[in-house]
Amino acid sequence: MSSHFYQPETVTCNGEKFKLFITKEQIDERMKQLGVQLNRDFEGKKPIFIGILNGAFIFLADIMRHVTIPCEVDFMKLSSYGDEKVSSGQVTELKHIDAKIEDRHVILVEDIVDTGLSMNYMVKRMHENNPASVSVCTLLHKKVATKYEVQLDYVGFEIPDAFVLGYGLDYAQEGRNLSQIYVLDKA
């Protein structure tokens, strides 16, 4: 089924050129598959999805609409990149969750796990509140960039160590609105 969203082959964002990397169709298909897995794994557990802002907002909205079991949602906001294309190596917590997660099944939802710094921090932070379980669901994973080990339970796509944009991911806060995922065109 074709989408009514704007789907260019290349985009320019903050003066840098990006080319199409993962199409809307590929994303939609993968969302359905992850939804099936989540419904099966959390049946009867009423999980709480915790989206990590800003990047996870589109992924979370899409994946949650493939979840048919009872569930809840909350958000946390972290900042580690500033306006650069490489991580600053520091995690700043800009907003904590409002929900009580003691004895709850938590599913952390992230746009991308790069070095693993943010997710490593998040998982530890969640465990401070004695949840029943903490699972990690990320749209993208740059396996070769790993510096901090994190167990990833649900991964949309494994990608190489390249800078990507769109579907929630930004470059200096722009480009989050793109419906597909683009990669920096070094050519």
* Residue window 136-165: x/- pattern of binding to ligand IMP, with contact defined by CB under 6 A: ---------------------------xx-
Q: Which is nearer to ligand IMP, 53 or 69 (CB)?
A: 53
The stretch among 42-50, 62-70, 99-107, 109-117 that binds ligand IMP (CB under 6 A) is 109-117
Name, in order, each residue with C-beta under 8 angstroms of 153's C-beta and a sequence gap of 6 or more: 135, 136, 137
For the segment 8-67, give every residue that binds ligand IMP (CB under 6 A). 55
CB of 128 to ligand IMP, least distance (A): 19
Give yes or no: 111 in active site: no
Q: Which is nearer to ligand IMP, 103 or 158 (CB)?
A: 158
For the segment 72-91, give every residue that binds ligand IMP (CB under 6 A). 80-81, 87
The stretch among 28-36, 61-69, 94-102, 108-116 that binds ligand IMP (CB under 6 A) is 108-116
105 within 8 A of 48, measured Cβ to Cβ: yes
115 near ligand IMP, judged by CB under 6 A: yes
106 to each of 47, 92, 101, 118, how far by Cα in Å? 6, 21, 7, 16
CB of 120 to ligand IMP, least distance (A): 8
Residues annotated catalytic, as ranges = 114
Residue ranges binding ligand IMP (CB under 6 A):
55, 80-81, 87, 110-119, 163-164, 169-170
